[in-house]
């Protein structure tokens, strides 16, 4: 019988699934229940969930909607947000899923009259408007203030549409540029070749101003069929030449290049140069040809263009003109050289650079560097190092050498700098190879801020946040000028962690750079406010906010808003107290959030931030924090939290300080985010909680990163119990686990009796410290307390 029902039931379920849109709730809920269920979900976070929740409401309409509307309170009671989410949500949903529209609208319309006050009524009316039938209303355009004469022409233009050419021509004859521009702008909609030609027929009868307008308009519309007119105006225009030149550049056809080149010899050289530089097409061949015969100013202008537009085909002429007897031409050719050279010129340029007189060397350096650009870095290095052998002015090759960014180039330059070459250091400052960082830092230490800036650029590009901040901290003392400090602060601002915050905050009182310090603090806090000490954070951000307010630029108000938001989201940490049960049992607090007075060891790697012990590898800490006292039998309770995947730490039990507690203490109970995929091959005696290398633990699933777990470790004699979030994961006796052989009976290094086959000489320690055994940043401890079960019985060392 039972089986039979279940078949019917599944069939029914299947039918319901197969028939979406049945106007009744699958779960047979009453409208009131549906409303309550949805209200518990709003605002819905994901679109799919949102659609499902709103569909539930829509299916129950109009009843659900009416229930919701009745829940609206007068606004001064200020509690309507969830209902508002639900009503706006169901209307939005029904508008897109129109089969529900009528019912939702019905519920809404029925409720408007009984809205409790004007504001809620208006809210409902807005949604009635949204869900109305029919197309959206487009209100008629209103010419409220009624201006003349432009509106009149506008109406005429619109009425004429594609036939507006006569109106445009009429406007062009006006002396009012605004009228002309309005007509031309409108005509853009129809300005094909035929239309433009119609207007251009009137060109000759127009004023100079209007002619200029038409020329600009031809450029706007790229009407190449009017090229003849434009070229004619370049050559023969009166007051229209400059505009014609600009238009010719925008039209960009081959024939206009010659006209523009010719214009280089006129009063409009600047305009023609600009037009050729921005010319919309290929000018290389024409410029090269023109350069062959050009003289005087034209020659100079063409050299300039060949350089800027990288016209390689002009390089033979340019090389020839370097030797011109006319000094002006020779100088212009030399200046143009870097723009036109190719790798075929490399050897020739290397020789010229080596032999060049002092003031010309720089431009040859540029040209040589440009010539080898087309090779890959290794080829470049090969060419340079072979040329440098032959050269007498070796330092002249350094910029090109640095530009290869090869490891070898850095090594060569470093050696040259150490040999006393300042040019080599200057070249290193241009390198983007990270190997240059070391020599640059050395130079920075000697007071060279340019090196410092490049150094910072390199670490920005190559280091992750933690290391970058550490390196910046080390380099900060070398930044003496405001300029250098700004570079440091900008880098700190982009490397958000609590250390960079502290470092940047120190500059908030430095009036030369306090604005940059404020920006750095704000940027860091916006990314990691929770990691920063509450007191430091609030003090520094309040300072930063005042600095922004005083600065008063356009974006400063935004920054003040942002700081306000950050400050609203942080709160001071909690002080932990013993529970009544713990008090009664005789527990003692080892860390309540305020200080590490009951602890010794690495207090740099273990810092109190917002009343939590934060573990970090910053500044290469030696790693372990120990209880000041030693303990025999005890119960240790604490909370832990991982903030980075794969974090590894451990609890040392009855251990001396400064040794590996897993072997020289009684044991180490593992703290490990073993859920991280990097730990796929973990042995059971290595997972979280395990007595490392000795007793396996039950493998638990950790809470998500950032959430706290509680742990308890009980140690009595040789017995150890580990409980995480109330679940016992280890409960065993170390002596039994190794059958009494904590070290190999044969005195060797391999111990067949322990799980990890290693000796654990400290296993039978009678007492020792409790230790947090650090293996890098990314986790936190809090609320550490202990029950010392040997109190009064133990003899202190």
Partner 1 sequence: MGINRRKFLQRGAAGAALFTILPRNVLGRMNGNKEFIAPSDQLTRGLIGVGGIGRSGSHFISDQNCRMVAMCDVDQKHLDSAFEAAKKNWNETVKTYHDFRELIHDPNVDIVHIATPPHWHGIMSVEAANAGKDIFCEKPMTRTIGEGKRVEEAVKRNGRIFRLNTWFRFKDTFYGLGTDVKPLKKLVDSGKLGWPLKVRISGATGFTWKFFWVGKENLEVQQVPKHFDYDLWLGPAPFKPYNAHRTHQTFRGYWDYDGGGLGDMGQHYIDPVQYILGKDDTFPVKVEVDAPQQHSDAIGTWRSVTYTYEDGCQIILEGEGYESPGKVPYIEGPKGKVYKGFECTIPNVQEIINEMPDPEPRNTDYLDCVRNRRQFALNESNGHRSCTIVNMGVCALRLNRTLHFDPKTQMFIGDDEANRLIYQPMRGEWQNYI
Residue 597 binds partner 1, judged by CB under 8 A:
no
Choose, by CB under 8 A, the member of 39, 106, 154, 570 that binds partner 1.
154
Which CB sits closer to partner 1, 43 or 745?
43
Tokens representing 773? 């055994």
- 139 sits near partner 1 (criterion: CB under 8 A): yes
Closest CA to 457 of 424, 482, 418, 487: 487
Closest CB to partner 1 among residues 288, 669: 288
Contact between 45 and partner 1 by CB under 8 A: the answer reads yes
Q: At 198, list the tokens.
A: 């119609």
- Interface with partner 1 (CB under 8 A), residue from 1, 113, 136, 327: 136
Using DSSP's 3-state secondary structure scheme, residue 730 falls into strand
Cα 63 to Cα 60, 67, 106: the distances in Å are 6, 6, 9
Determine which residue in the list 280, 348, 421, 709 makes contact with partner 1, applying CB under 8 A: 280
Other beta carbons within 10 angstroms of residue 659's beta carbon come to: 16
Subset of residues 353 to 392 that bind partner 1, contact rule: CB under 8 A:
373-374
Which of 552, 620, 704, 726 lies at the binding interface for partner 1 (CB under 8 A)?
A: 552
- Residue with smaller CB distance to partner 1, 175 or 581: 175
CA distances for 496 relative to 374, 469, 562, 613, 769, angstroms: 39, 9, 16, 19, 35
Q: Which candidate, 74, 70, 99, places its Cα nearest to that of 86?
A: 70
* Residue 270 binding partner 1, by CB under 8 A: yes
CB of residue 144 to partner 1, shortest distance in Å: 5
What number of helices (H) and strands (E) belong to the chain? Answer: 37, 13
Which residue lies nearer to partner 1 by CB, 284 or 725?
284
* Lookup: tokens for 375: 């090779």
Retrieve residue 614's tokens.
């934060």
Q: Is residue 122 a contact residue for partner 1 (CB under 8 A)?
A: yes
| Candidate list 39, 102, 202, 274; residue touching partner 1; CB under 8 A | 274
Q: Which stretch binds partner 1 (CB under 8 A): 255-263, 290-298, 408-416, 546-554?
A: 546-554
Query: Can you tell me the distance from the alpha carbon of 569 to that of 194, in angstroms, rounded to the nearest whole number?
Result: 65
- Residue whose CB is less far from partner 1, 434 or 753: 434
Shortest Cβ 100–partner 1 spacing (Å) = 13
Span near partner 1 by CB under 8 A; candidates 23-31, 90-98, 254-262, 673-681: 90-98
Q: How far apart are CA 313 and CA 199, in angstroms?
A: 41
For residue 50, state whether it binds partner 1 (rule: CB under 8 A): yes
Verify binding: residue 151, partner 1, rule CB under 8 A: yes
What token pair was written down for 95?
């508008």
Closest alpha carbon to 131 in 101, 169, 88, 160: 101
CB of 307 to partner 1, least distance (A): 10
Residue closer to partner 1 (CB basis): 37 or 473? 37
How far is it, in rounded angstroms, from Cα 332 to Cα 297?
A: 11
User: Which pair of tokens denotes residue 191?
Assistant: 């300005």
Query: Does residue 279 touch partner 1 according to CB under 8 A?
Result: yes
Residues that bind partner 1 (rule: CB under 8 A) add up to a total of: 93
Q: Which one of 39, 63, 71, 95 is in contact with partner 1 (CB under 8 A)?
A: 95
When asked if residue 146 is in the footprint of partner 1 (CB under 8 A), the reply is yes
Which positions from 429 through 458 interact with partner 1, judged by CB under 8 A?
Answer: none
Binding mask 292-321 for partner 1 (x = CB under 8 A): -----------------xx-----------
Q: Is 619 in the site for partner 1 (CB under 8 A)?
A: no
DSSP string, 114-138: T-SSHHHHHHHHHHHHHH-SSPPP-
Residue of 1, 18, 20, 135 that binds partner 1 (CB under 8 A): 135
Strands 599-601 vs 727-733: parallel, antiparallel or unpaired: unpaired
SS3 label, residue 91: helix
One of 8, 40, 145, 327 touching partner 1 (CB under 8 A): 145
User: Applying CB under 8 A, does 565 fall inside the site for partner 1?
Assistant: yes
Pairing between β-strand 624-631 and β-strand 768-773 as defined by DSSP bridges: antiparallel
**Least distance from partner 1 to the Cβ atom of residue 7, Å:** 39
**Do 491 and 460 meet the contact criterion of CB atoms below 8 Å apart?**
yes
Which residue number, 107 or 774, has a Cβ lying nearer to partner 1?
107
Q: How far is the CB of 304 from partner 1 (least distance, A)?
A: 14
Q: Where are the alpha helices (DSSP H) in 429-513?
A: 437-445, 449-462, 465-475, 482-493, 498-505
Please count the other Cβ atoms lying within 10 Å of the Cβ belonging to residue 38.
Answer: 23
Q: Which is nearer to partner 1, 340 or 773 (CB)?
A: 340
CB-based burial label for 188 (10 Å; 0-12, 13-18, 19+):
exposed
Kindly state the greatest CA–CA separation across the chain.
117
Minimum CB–partner distance for residue 167 and partner 1 (Å): 13
Cβ nearer to partner 1, comparing 194 with 277: 277
Cα–Cα distance between 257 and 280 in angstroms, integer?
A: 10
The single residue among 166, 316, 447, 553 that binds partner 1, judged by CB under 8 A, is 553
- Closest approach, Cβ 171 to partner 1, in A, equals 10
Give the end-to-end CA distance of the chain in Å, rounded to a whole number.
76
Of 465 and 476, the one with the shorter C-beta distance to partner 1 is 465
> CB of residue 289 vs partner 1: minimum separation in angstroms?
19
How far is the CA of 702 from the CAs of 268, 368, 615, 711, in angstroms? 76, 61, 18, 12
Please name the residues in contact with 191: beta carbons below 8 A apart, sequence gap of 6 or more: 217, 220, 221, 223
Verify binding: residue 271, partner 1, rule CB under 8 A. Answer: yes
Give min distance, CB of 542 to partner 1, in A: 16
| Least distance between partner 1 and beta carbon 565 (Å) | 3
Interface of this chain with partner 1, residues 209 to 268, rule: CB under 8 A:
209, 212, 216, 239, 242-243, 246, 250
Peptide bond into 217 cis (omega under 30): no
**Interaction of residue 92 with partner 1, rule CB under 8 A:** yes
Nearer to partner 1, 131 or 504 (CB): 131
Select the residue interacting with partner 1 from 6, 16, 81, 474 (CB under 8 A).
81
Specify whether the CB–CB gap between 593 and 611 falls below 8 A.
yes
| Dihedral over Cα of 662, 667, 668, 674: its sign | positive
Which residue(s) pair with 635 in the sheet? Answer: 714, 787
Nearer to partner 1, 5 or 141 (CB): 141
Q: Please choose, out of 279-287, 392-400, 502-510, 600-608, the segment that lies near partner 1 by the rule CB under 8 A.
A: 279-287
**Which residues are CB-neighbours of 163 under 8 A, at least 6 positions away?**
none
Which parts of 176-215 interact with partner 1 (CB under 8 A)? 176-182, 185-186, 208-209, 212
Residue 43 contacts partner 1 per CB under 8 A? yes
Task: Tell me if 1 contacts partner 1 by CB under 8 A.
Answer: no
Structure tokens at 467: 């290391």
Instruction: State which of residues 143, 204, 325, 357 lies at the interface with partner 1 (CB under 8 A).
Output: 143
């Amino acid at each position: 019988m039972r089986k039979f029902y279940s078949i019917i039931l599944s069939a029914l379920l299947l039918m319901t699934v197969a028939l979406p849109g049945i106007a009744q709730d699958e779960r047979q809920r009453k409208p009131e229940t549906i409303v309550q269920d949805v209200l518990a979900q709003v605002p819905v976070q994901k679109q799919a969930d949102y659609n499902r929740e709103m569909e539930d409401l829509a299916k129950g309409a109009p009843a659900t909607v009416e229930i919701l509307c009745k829940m609206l309170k007068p606004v001064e009671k200020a509690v309507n947000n969830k209902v508002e989410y639900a009503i706006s949500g169901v209307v939005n949903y029904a508008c897109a899923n129109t089969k529900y529209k009528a019912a939702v609208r019905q519920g809404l319309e029925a409720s408007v009259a009984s809205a409790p006050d004007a504001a809620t009524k208006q809210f409902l009316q807005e949604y009635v408007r949204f869900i109305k039938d029919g197309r959206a209303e487009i209100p008629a355009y209103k010419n409220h203030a009624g201006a003349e004469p432009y509106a009149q022409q506008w109406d005429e233009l619109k009425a004429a549409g594609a036939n507006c050419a006569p109106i445009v021509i009429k406007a062009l004859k006006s002396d009012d540029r605004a009228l002309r521009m309005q007509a031309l702008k409108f005509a853009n909609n129809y300005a094909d070749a035929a239309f433009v030609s119609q207007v251009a027929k009137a060109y000759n009868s127009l004023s100079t101003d209007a002619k200029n307008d038409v020329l600009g308009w031809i450029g706007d519309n790229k009407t190449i069929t009017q090229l003849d007119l434009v070229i004619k105006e370049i050559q023969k225009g009166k007051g229209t030449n400059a505009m014609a030149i600009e238009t010719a550049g925008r039209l960009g056809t081959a024939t206009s290049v010659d006209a523009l080149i010719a214009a280089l010899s006129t009063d409009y050289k600047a305009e023609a140069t600009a037009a050729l530089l921005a010319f919309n097409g290929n000018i290389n061949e024409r410029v090269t040809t023109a350069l062959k015969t050009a003289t005087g100013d034209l020659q100079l202008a063409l050299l300039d263009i060949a350089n800027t537009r990288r016209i390689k085909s002009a390089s033979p002429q340019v090389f020839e003109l370097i030797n011109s007897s006319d000094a002006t031409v020779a100088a212009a050719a030399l200046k143009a050289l870097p723009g036109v050279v190719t790798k075929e010129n490399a050897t020739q340029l290397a020789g010229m650079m080596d032999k060049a007189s002092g003031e010309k060397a720089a431009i040859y350096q540029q040209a040589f560097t440009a010539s080898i650009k087309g090779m890959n870095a290794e080829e470049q290095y090969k060419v340079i190092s072979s040329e440098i052998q032959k050269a007498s002015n070796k330092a002249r090759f350094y910029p090109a050498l640095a530009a290869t960014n090869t490891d070898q180039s850095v090594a060569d330059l470093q050696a040259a700098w150490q040999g006393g070459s300042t040019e080599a250091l200057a070249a290193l400052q241009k390198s983007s190879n990270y190997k240059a960082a070391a020599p640059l830092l050395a130079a920075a230490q000697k007071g060279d801020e340019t090196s410092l800036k490049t150094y910072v650029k390199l670490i920005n590009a190559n280091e992750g946040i933690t290391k970058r901040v550490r390196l910046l901290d080390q380099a900060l003392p070398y930044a003496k000028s405001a300029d250098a400090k700004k570079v440091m602060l900008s880098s700190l601002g982009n490397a958000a962690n609590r250390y960079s915050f502290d470092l940047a905050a120190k500059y908030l009182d430095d009036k030369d750079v306090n604005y940059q310090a404020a920006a750095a603090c704000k940027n860091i806090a916006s990314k990691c406010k929770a990691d920063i000490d509450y007191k430091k954070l609030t003090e520094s951000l309040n300072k930063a906010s005042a600095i922004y307010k005083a600065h008063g630029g356009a974006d400063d108000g935004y920054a003040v808003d942002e700081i306000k938001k950050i400050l609203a989201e942080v709160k001071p940490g909690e002080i932990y107290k013993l529970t009544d049960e713990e008090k009664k049992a005789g527990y003692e607090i080892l860390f309540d959030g305020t200080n590490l007075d009951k602890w010794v060891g690495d207090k740099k790697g273990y810092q109190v931030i917002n009343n939590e012990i934060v573990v970090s590898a910053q500044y290469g800490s030696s790693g372990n924090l120990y209880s000041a006292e030693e303990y025999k039998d005890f119960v240790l309770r604490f909370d832990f939290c991982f903030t980075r995947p794969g974090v590894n730490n451990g609890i040392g039990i009855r251990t001396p300080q400064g040794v590996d507690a897993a072997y020289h203490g009684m044991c180490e109970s593992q703290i490990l985010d073993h859920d991280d995929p990097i730990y796929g091959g973990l042995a059971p005696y290595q997972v979280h909680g395990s007595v490392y290398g000795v007793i396996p633990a039950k493998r638990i699933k950790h809470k998500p990163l950032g959430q706290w777990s509680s742990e308890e470790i009980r140690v009595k004699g040789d017995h150890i119990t580990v409980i995480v979030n109330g679940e016992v994961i280890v409960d065993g006796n170390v002596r039994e686990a190794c059958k009494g052989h904590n070290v190999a009976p044969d005195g060797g290094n391999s111990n067949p009796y322990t799980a990890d086959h290693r000796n654990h000489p400290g296993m039978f320690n009678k007492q020792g410290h409790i230790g947090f055994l650090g293996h890098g940043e990314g986790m936190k401890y809090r609320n550490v307390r202990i029950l010392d079960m040997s109190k009064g019985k133990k003899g202190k060392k």
